[in-house]
Amino acid sequence: MQALIIHDIELLPETTSEQFEKFVTTRDYVECANFDCIRSFVVVRADESGRAYRELIQVTDMDAFITATKTERFAELEKDFSALARITGEETTYSTVGTGYVAGGVE
């Protein structure tokens, strides 16, 4: 099943928005490109405070994504993320209509 997964993110008190955004652009985006089950991944600023973010992950197959989250590579990524921020609230997952559209690659 193709799906869109949404997580709300809050920075840890000691993390600056610059630190987190550098992690997202230099590590998170790059690593997610190595998982075939991730079709697209983007992190957005959720408000003007610079402390709240939202990540949107479009996966080609939910079962494959769950399997990918159990790999050592993903565990390392999660560990590095957890040093900077935490996911708040519940994960929201939606079934997608078709594959959608994504242009280009990591910028």
Mean pLDDT per 10-residue interval, the chain, length 107 residues? 95 98 97 94 93 96 96 96 95 89 64
- What does the pLDDT read at residue 100? 81
46 pairs with which residues across the strands?
none
- What does the pLDDT read at residue 57? 96
Using a CB cutoff of 8 Å and minimum separation of 24, what contacts does 60-66 make? 60/2, 60/36, 60/99, 61/1, 61/2, 61/37, 62/1, 62/2, 62/3, 62/93, 63/1, 64/36, 64/37, 65/3, 65/5, 65/35, 65/37, 65/38
Reported pTM: 0.88
Residue entry with tokens 């008190």: 13
Q: Which CATH number fits domain 3-95: 3.30.1330.80, 3.20.20.70, 3.30.70.100, 3.30.450.20?
A: 3.30.70.100
